[in-house]
Structure 1
């Protein structure tokens, strides 16, 4: 845990670089500076120096906040890596632009300074090295649960709300990066901003319900149904340990013969459907909905 905290703190170092260099250079920079470069390294786009710096600072701070969240979330080293790369890239873009302007305010050329951007991106790998390797996964063998004892007419339901601060942080960082790119270099990518915002709205909070109708997943922030599986379509329901990469990664994943909502690594519910497909969702104490769905399935004729 200490390594994760140190790695998260390192994500803030590029933010400090942004602040220190602005304090040292803003008096020497012209009001408008080059913010975009063509293939030969010559400037072909210009903007306010203070606005450009402030935008990159916001990106760096957003990455730092996401890293702080990741440091408290087991298995979130990938987010620390991404946050370090985003924060470092923001500082690298600023350093490359400001240094090119200071070198020749009348006709700035990027030249070798574009390497500063790649150096900033590489900061993510430094953060990952400090965070250390992922801890070994717990054994995957999880015993099946016995079905609940239900009376023929008894009604019972299970409901739980899933929250994913990691996914929310990633979505916000991605939205900030897209916004910076659209505002500074490529206005055509503004529509892409809808993708990370939609991910935040759909998956940052999910309501999972199991009852006589089957299993349902609903986006908690906007109430949009994400998945419905009828009870009659369920063959078995069992707890399992979910490894994100075994299901295709984090988020809502779809692959031939299976799909999953993976918001973290750890315990989860796996449904085996009558048509041979599987569906998984990460849950705390998945034995409860597994036992309930098993009992309801046994009580249903056919």
Structure 2
């Protein structure tokens, strides 16, 4: 009878498989770089020789950066309680696939060039299968991840209110996740970078693709917290605040039902007189600031969050009350 692999060991193995593509690329580069020419093939139109070329250093750097970013995202997803189990498995698998594809893209180009001796005579051949197999590599860490005893909600998680001193307002933290935005954030560099390799636009599109991916991923999973200090929204993956609204700047807080099309789509939206973090259609926390601007975030538990913020905001001062004389 086989003995189950301990949970910690499975997570360690998954982390090792995430690190493997970057490690392989670093090792191969140290062994191959002295013999590589200045240009490497990066595009083939068919079964013939390569018809597009990229500077060897640029191709190596681009593939390595992409692999390292995906590896970092995959390792971040392994942190306990960062993502729900199903989403975490998907993020880890996609990150490993993209990292492996990046390493395979460079390794195939460099390896075939060393075998051929001249980058202009390199034919892709079986190298295409190597890149395709790299996509399947993402299944390995996804399978290695341990199964959770109990499934968590697929899109959100309401965390227990933190203890508060007597007489203080309560606090509530809610985690919201958009699996679609997570997949899109990984897909942007995975698609744009390989497509532009070997073209004059590759150098300019690399930082653009990485910045776009970072912005999407920053808002793909957020933690919404309401307490006596006000509203704080933090990126789950990058662990930095993306929105802070102090309690004294909140004029009102309500729970509403909103649609992405009414706010300009998904993600972080900035419109005239209002802004929002939209991860789905449905319940949302709507805040009116003291200056009249609106801010919304789609989140479960919106009524509870609104109630906390309403109790936390200071009572209207004489300066903010209606200045018109009252009728006795």
Q: Same fold (TM over 0.5)?
A: yes
Q: Which residue among 44, 49, 57 is the counterpart of 1:50?
A: 57
| 2:194 is equivalent to residue 181 of structure 1 | yes
| 2:261 is equivalent to residue 254 of structure 1 | no
| 2:213 is equivalent to residue 199 of structure 1 | no
Structure 1 equivalent of residue 116 of structure 2: 104
| 2:76 is equivalent to residue 69 of structure 1 | yes
Structure 2 equivalent of residue 4 of structure 1: 11
Shift of residue 175 of structure 1? 5.7
Task: Tell me if structure 2 keeps the 8 A contact 1:41–1:111.
Answer: no
Q: 1:231 to 1:124 in 2, by over 3 A?
A: same
Shift of residue 30 of structure 1? 1.3
Shift of residue 115 of structure 1? 0.6
- Which runs of 5 or more residues in structure 2 are unaligned? 1-6, 155-167, 246-251, 258-276, 286-296, 313-328
Equivalenced residues, count: 244
| 2:27 is equivalent to residue 20 of structure 1 | yes
- Does the residue aligned with 1:95 lie in a helix, a strand or coil? helix
Matches within 5 A, 1:83-122: 83-106=95-118, 107-122=121-136
Q: Could you say what the CA RMSD is over the residues aligned between the two structures, in angstroms?
A: 4.9
- Which runs of 5 or more residues in structure 1 are unaligned? 141-154, 236-250, 261-268, 270-278, 297-302
Shift of residue 82 of structure 1? 1.2
Task: Tell me if structure 1 keeps the 8 A contact 2:39–2:56.
Answer: yes
Structure 2 equivalent of residue 281 of structure 1: 299
Q: Deviations over 1:57-76 (max 9, x none)?
A: 22222222222211113421
Task: Tell me if structure 2 keeps the 8 A contact 1:45–1:185.
Answer: yes
Q: Quick one: distance in 2 between partners of 1:42 and 1:289?
A: 62
Shift of residue 5 of structure 1? 2.7
| 2:88 is equivalent to residue 81 of structure 1 | no
Q: Quick one: distance in 2 between partners of 1:11 and 1:138?
A: 24
- Structure 1 length-normalised TM: 0.60
Structure 1 equivalent of residue 140 of structure 2: 126
